[in-house]
Amino acid sequence: MLWTIAKREFLKNILNKRFLIATVLCLVLIPLSFYLSLQDYRRKLGNYSISLRKQELFSGLVGTYRWSSGAVMKRSRWVEPGGQVKRPAVLSIFAKGCDDKLSGPFELQGRWLQPFFGRSQEPNPLFAIYPTPDYLFVVEVVMSLLALLFAFDSIAGERTQGTLQLALSNPIPRDVFLLGKLLGGYAGLALPFLAATLFSLAFLSLSPTVVLSEGDWARIALIVLISLVYIFIFYLLGLLISSRSQSPSKALLLSLFLWVLLVPVGPSLGALMARAIRPVMSAEQAAARRYDWAKRRIEEAQKIYHSPSTGEYELPIHHEIDWEIAQHLDRIDQLRRRQQGRLVSLTKYIGRITPVGTLVFAVTSLAGTSVDDLLRYKDEAMRAKRDKMEEVYLPWSEAEKLLRKRGYTEEEIAKLKRRMHITSDTKRILVKEPGQVSFSLREKTFGESLNQALPDFGVLLCFAVGLFLCVHLSFLRADIG
């Protein structure tokens, strides 16, 4: 009996114009999203190759400082190097997420080693105001709307036509009838979606640019599975609305209202709410704090090293206060990073209230383009920055050894020490350009990606089970007349 009802519902859907529209949309939008994302991935891969060649070209051209008789450290053979660049994530084809920021260069600028996180530049500036038409976007927006449109009149339409009362006058349990309609209706929507996805994956596997490992294929399978659960949630929501509505028109209006509330509006409101609760220092505010503190510290040092006889400042350009400034600016960066971490955690908690936010967190985690991946990348970059600080700022005892290796006599070293006001309180001084910063960011294993996405997948399953129970209870109590 169950499969008879499911077959009847499935045939009813595929003979409806909605099935034709859904099939056309899936067969056009999903392959198109793969094609556009593949072109974007090729562009970023080309930029990555250029950055690697730039690093190789400049690897031997980074000079060190030499001290002149005026105790001013001058640069020898300095060429601006390319920054550390991460290879773009191959699964950004499915979910772009934060991949532009992840694949941008990381550089240390100035003698205070200020971090700069670039981003992969999009040649078309209009993409800055339009959403990315990737696979995740199609599932998140288009398939959720189609699921509601498939389900809104599943029960309300039969109630209006009188076929619901006729069907339930036979010895058919309501739960069996509901489950049959659910399976048959959902199959009519999942079929074109899976067909378009498999076609797109076949197209993707033929591309010589994309090299997928076994772990990548496992991630892709999970992405498709999560997408199917997400679509199932919205189909259940449509069934719930249909079971509580007396007419298809009312069910359609309520379905569209909830779709607008949950899909385009809900995630943005959640992010704004989290930002209001957990404010974060902006990049401009952090830069202003860094500048104000550095300026104040330099002015204090100038008062100490002011020469009354000449009326001039004897403060050398690269004094040990640079180390103090660099340390303090690093503490400001760490404070802002902690604020960002708390904001992201709160945003994820709020975003999981809706299926849309949960889908985005799960899919981007599997694709390696999530906000957590971006924060992990920045953490590794900041650790590399602190290691570079220890390398280019040396204690005076180490600087003396470096001077002796370069042929300085003891008399020249003593004169230099007096000229630079080196005392027992001097901590560290800048001895060479920072040059290229490099660090290894280990790619996540499949197990790590799974552990990161598993909580969100569990939340989606809870949504599905909860909505199914609501639909079941609602239909059991519904008036079939």
DSSP string for 66-93: EE-TTS-EEESS--PPPPEEPPPPGGGG
Domain ranges, ordered by start, for the chain: 2-477
Which of these, 60, 58, 50, lies nearest to 103 by C-alpha position?
A: 50
Contacts of 278 (CB under 8 A, 6+ apart): 339, 342, 343, 346
| Span 339-391, pLDDT tens digits | 988 999 999 999 899 999 999 999 999 999 998 888 888 888 888 777 777 77
Query: How far apart are alpha carbons 96 and 94 in whole angstroms?
Result: 7
Q: What is the pLDDT of residue 147?
A: 96
Distance, CA of 87 to CA of 52 (rounded, Å): 10
Type of residue numbered 69: S
The answer to whether the CB of 63 falls within 8 A of the CB of 75 is yes
* pLDDT at residue 172 in the model: 82
Residue 117, SS3 per DSSP: strand
Residues 389 and 305 sit within 8 Å (Cβ to Cβ): no
For residues 81 and 407, what is the distance between their CA atoms, to the nearest angstrom? 28
Residue-wise DSSP of 290-353: HHHHHHHHHHHHHHHTB-TTTSSB---SS-THHHHHHHHHHHHHHHHHHHHHHHHHHHHHHHTT
Model pLDDT, residue 69: 37
DSSP string, 97-112: TTHHHHTSEEEEETTT
Please tell me the predicted confidence (pLDDT) of residue 71. Answer: 36
Query: Residues 48-53: contacts with CB within 8 Å, 24+ apart?
Result: 48/85, 48/87, 48/88, 48/103, 51/82, 51/83, 51/85, 51/105, 52/85
Interior angle at CA 188, CA 187 and CA 194, nearest 5:
70
pLDDT at 310: 47
β partners of residue 430: 393
Closest CA to 408 of 11, 143, 71: 71
pTM score of the predicted model:
0.84
pLDDT of residue 408: 79
Q: Reduced to 3 states, what is the DSSP secondary structure of residue 429? A: strand
DSSP run (H or E) holding 194 = helix 174-205
Which value, in Å, is the radius of gyration of the alpha carbons in the chain? 31
What are 202-229's pLDDT values in tens digits? 999 998 889 899 999 999 999 999 999 9
pLDDT at 114: 64
- For each successive 10 residues of the chain (481 residues), what is the average pLDDT? 84 88 95 92 84 63 42 37 70 90 70 62 62 89 95 87 80 86 93 96 91 93 97 95 89 94 90 89 83 78 57 48 77 87 91 93 93 85 78 76 79 75 66 62 84 94 95 83 59
pLDDT of residue 65: 41
User: Does residue 116 sit in helix, strand or coil?
Assistant: strand
